[in-house]
Amino acid sequence: MDNKVIATIFYETADLMEIAAEDSFRIRSYRRAAEAVEAFDRPLSEIYKDEKALLAIPGIGKSMAGHIRDVISTGKLPLHEQLLKKFHPSMLELLKIQGMGPKTIALIWDAFHVCDPEGVQKLAQEGKLRTLPRLSEKSEQKIIKAIDSYRQMTGRFLLDTADEVAQKITELIQGMPGVEKITPAGSLRRGRDTVGDLDMLITGKFASNETQRDKVIEAILKLPGIQDVLAKGENKVSFKLRSGLQVDVRLLPPDSFGAALQYFTGSKSHSVALRQRALRMGLTLNEYGLVRLEDNKRVASKTEEDIYKKLGLEFIPPELRESIGEIEAAEEGTLPDLVTQADIRGDVHMHTVETDGKCTIEEMALAARDFGYKYMAITDHSKNLAFANGLDDKRAEAHIKKIRSVGKTIEGITVFAGIEVDILADGELDLSDSVLEQMDIVIASVHSHFQQDPQQMTDRLLRVIANPNTSLMGHPTGRMLLRREGFIFDYDKVFAAAAEAGVAMEHNAYPDRLDLSDLHLRMAKSKGVKFIINTDAHHTSHLEKMRFGVLQLRRAWLTKKDVLNTLPVAQFAKVVRRGRPVLANV
Ligand code: DGT
Ligand code: CA
Ligand code: CA
Ligand code: ZN
């Protein structure tokens, strides 16, 4: 059981306690424990038997330590179970719906004893929710919409969730006799921002050796968290994890690796287009190979490169296989030279313990240097984000002094002093211009008033772009994958204004944001926008999330030239200051 699962149980317990109107002090202790578990950088399952080690975690007292032990040893927390019995497990679903906090849910539950999304949506449609305090006809409409979009989102998973499972499966079987290649396929390999299920491909001689194959299957099924084995055959194992994620593993002999990888990577529409092309060339393509119709001779199957080549195409990177013009470009030899992770020279959006991060300036800087970066920036929150302990003018000034002085002591990396400043409801920034002017880099982000109408939001963002201190807009639509859709504004207008003013758009690589999305990235590029990709790290361990963002940039056909943090440090320092003198010593 990993820390995230444990933390979720504690968060859920706190929410359910709030619905049950329990003591707020106790509720807070569960939330604090959840946060502590989530932030802890070692698996608690390794240390949970050691009382001292548990108690040493800030936010964990004696009783919480006991609860953690319960959860790890039995998989359950008694209070969590009790509350779910009192209400109904569907209440957990309701909590995931945007705008449905514990307070609203408690109101609805007390009045109607309803706590499932369908039931609540029906109440809203029948106009019954407006009879409750603080709920209006307008809130009913919002709830109906939120439940609709929840339905579209359920059944999908974050990219890093699927990736983690793929890595665990790889660890379980790599090096086993007869196993050669283990590769994720499907939407994970294409880097789609969320995945429906995980597809994996394992090839090697084991596939045609019964004893070896049985051993490999047995090893795969040792994966922790399997709830249900759905299929177990000669060339396929499928199962469902407790999280709800389905995994399809295909076992194949090595000579059809390329064809199988191509087939199971998809997308379906890309593959359909390839197959039509093959037919026009007198060939047929399936998961075993590319075969000449005339004499049934296999002309390619071992590698994807071979297959594309024999179809008269440049190799098409998986991220581009969405049937949106990549086949035509590959035929003409005009595929873009996509940006790679190795091109990224710095990560310039990070938080520290000064606000809601978990590590110090020094720890973040050293981690960024060890990650291979030439520069990084500390960009803590501003005061409008009160729950994150955001900085006011005075603290912000003191903080950049501190960042600069710590930066001087660290060799091998440039540490920029910056801020992630909140965009207030009217487009004003949350700190004084005289303070923002002293920053190497200013990320302006919306963290409140998401529900403004598009016209108002457009004006708000245009005002941010007009502010000479703004270097880039942080997570520009504010979407939270599987939780909240992004806010809407006049994209063309805002992107065009940003391009004109030299304000960059962020791509936030953190896997539950991945914002701007691939589509919006393309749209913005067409208006001339430049981008900065960041992890928004709140812990040193988040730096490696960069790769999920890089996949999105590639899906948007972006090249090194589109991405500003591929620039050498001096040039980067200059562009983010937008023509004003560079302050950092670079
Ligand atoms: P997902 O799981 O919804 O995020 O999306 P995918 O693309 O991973 O789709 P999935 O898991 O249904 O199938 C994995 C790959 O297998 C898909 O990308 C292409 C291939 N595939 C599945 N079903 C078909 C099919 O009926 N025809 C063709 N040509 N390929 C298929
Ligand atoms: Ca899939
Ligand atoms: Ca699948
Ligand atoms: Zn941030």
Ligand 1 pocket: which of 157, 246, 264, 275 to mutate (most atoms within 8 A of CB): 264
Centre a 10 Å sphere on the Cβ of residue 136 and count the other Cβ atoms it contains: 11
Mutate which of 199, 518, 555 to test ligand 1's pocket (most atoms within 8 Å of Cβ)? 199
| Per-residue pLDDT of the chain in tens (586 residues, 90 and over written 9) | 789 889 999 999 999 999 999 999 999 999 999 999 998 988 999 999 899 999 999 889 999 999 999 999 998 899 999 999 888 888 988 998 888 999 999 999 999 999 989 899 999 999 999 999 999 999 999 999 999 888 777 789 999 999 999 999 999 999 999 999 999 999 999 999 999 999 999 999 999 999 999 999 999 999 988 988 999 999 999 999 988 899 999 999 999 999 999 999 999 999 999 999 999 999 999 999 999 999 999 999 999 999 999 999 999 999 999 999 999 999 999 999 999 999 999 999 999 999 999 999 999 999 999 999 999 999 999 999 998 999 999 999 999 999 999 999 999 999 999 999 999 999 999 999 999 999 999 999 999 999 899 999 999 999 999 999 999 999 999 999 987 889 999 999 999 999 999 999 999 999 999 999 999 999 999 999 999 999 999 999 999 999 999 999 999 999 999 999 999 999 999 999 998 999 999 8
| pTM, to two decimals | 0.82
Atom 10, ligand 1: which residue's CA is nearest?
186
CA of 185 to the centre of ligand 3 (A): 9
CA distances for 171 relative to 10, 166, 176, 205, angstroms: 29, 9, 10, 19
| Coil vs helix vs strand at 190 | helix
Contact predicate 427/463, CB 8 Å: yes
Is the peptide bond prior to 267 cis by the omega test (within 30 degrees of 0)? yes
User: Residue 181's closest CA among 124, 254, 279, 99?
Assistant: 254
| Distance from Cα 266 to the centre of ligand 1, integer Å | 6
Task: Name which of 222, 241, 173 is nearest 202 in CA terms.
Answer: 173
User: Cα(195) to centroid of ligand 1, in Å?
Assistant: 11
What pLDDT is stored for residue 41 in this prediction? 85
Neighbours of 526 (CB within 10 A): 12
Closest C-alpha among 335, 431, 341 to residue 380: 431
Residue 266 CA: nearest ligand 1 atom is: 18
Q: How far apart (Å, rounded) are the C-alpha atoms in residues 347 and 350?
A: 8
One-character DSSP codes across 215-264: HHHHHHTT-TTEEEEEEE-SSEEEEEETTS-EEEEEEE-GGGHHHHHHHH
Q: Is the beta carbon of 264 within 6 A of some atom in ligand 1?
A: yes
Ligand 1 centre to CA of 264 (Å) is 6
Pocket mutation for ligand 1, best pick of 268, 290, 323 (most atoms within 8 Å of C-beta): 268
In angstroms and rounded to an integer, the radius of gyration of the C-alpha atoms of the chain is 26
Using the mean position of ligand 1's atoms as its centre, give its distance from the Cα of residue 192 in Å: 12
CB 175 within 8 A of CB 253: no
Ligand number nearest to the C-alpha of 348: 4
CB-ligand 1 contact for 323 (6 Å cutoff): no
Binding site membership of 191 for ligand 1 (Cβ less than 6 Å): no
Fold topology of 157-252: Beta Polymerase; domain 2 (3.30.460)
Name the residue at shortest CA distance from atom 13 of ligand 1.
Answer: 186
Torsion of CA 319, 166, 11, 155, to 10 degrees: 60
Among 571, 381, 541, which residue's Cα sits nearest to residue 475?
381
CA of 321 to the centre of ligand 1 (A): 12
Q: Which of 528, 565, 523, 530 is nearest to 546 (CA)?
A: 565
Ligand 3 centre and the CA of 439: distance in Å? 47
Specify burial of residue 110 (Cβ count, 10 A radius: 0-12, 13-18, 19+).
Answer: exposed
Residue 153: the pLDDT is 73
Ligand 1: does its nearest atom lie under 6 Å from the Cβ of 186?
Answer: yes
Q: What angle do CA 98, 532, 398 make, to 5 degrees?
A: 85
Cβ of residue 199 lying under 6 Å from some atom of ligand 1: yes
**CB-ligand 1 contact for 195 (6 Å cutoff):** yes
Q: Which CATH superfamily groups domain 341-576?
A: Metal-dependent hydrolases (3.20.20.140)
Residue 16 is predicted with a pLDDT of 96
Query: What is the pLDDT at residue 106?
Result: 94
Q: Are strands 226-232 and 283-286 parallel, antiparallel or unpaired?
A: unpaired
CATH code that applies to domain 3-153 = 1.10.150.110
What is the whole-number distance in angstroms between the Cα of residue 380 and the centre of ligand 4? 7
Size of the chain in residues: 586
Residue 305 has phi, psi (to 5 degrees) of: -55, -45
Task: Judge if 157-252 and 267-332 fold alike in CATH terms.
Answer: no
What ranges in 443-512 are assigned the alpha helix state H?
454-466, 491-501
| Atom 18 in ligand 1: residue holding the nearest Cα | 266
Compute the CA torsion angle 487, 488, 493, 494 (nearest 10 deg).
0
Q: What is the domain partition of the chain in residue ranges?
A: 3-153, 157-252, 267-332, 341-576
Start-to-end C-alpha separation, the chain: 45
| 178 in contact with ligand 1, CB cutoff 6 A | no
- Residue 252, beta-bridge partner list: 203
Atom of ligand 1 nearest to the CA of 197: 2
Residue with CA closest to ligand 1 atom 14? 186
CATH class held by domain 267-332: alpha beta
Question: Position of tokens 């086949």?
Answer: 327
Write the CA distances from 443 to 16, 253, 428, 534, integer angstroms: 36, 50, 13, 11
Taking CA atoms only, the protein residue closest to ligand 1 atom 1 is 196
Q: Which of 373, 343, 348, 319 is nearest to 533 (CA)?
A: 348
For residue 416, which amino acid is it?
Answer: F
Give residue 196's pLDDT: 95
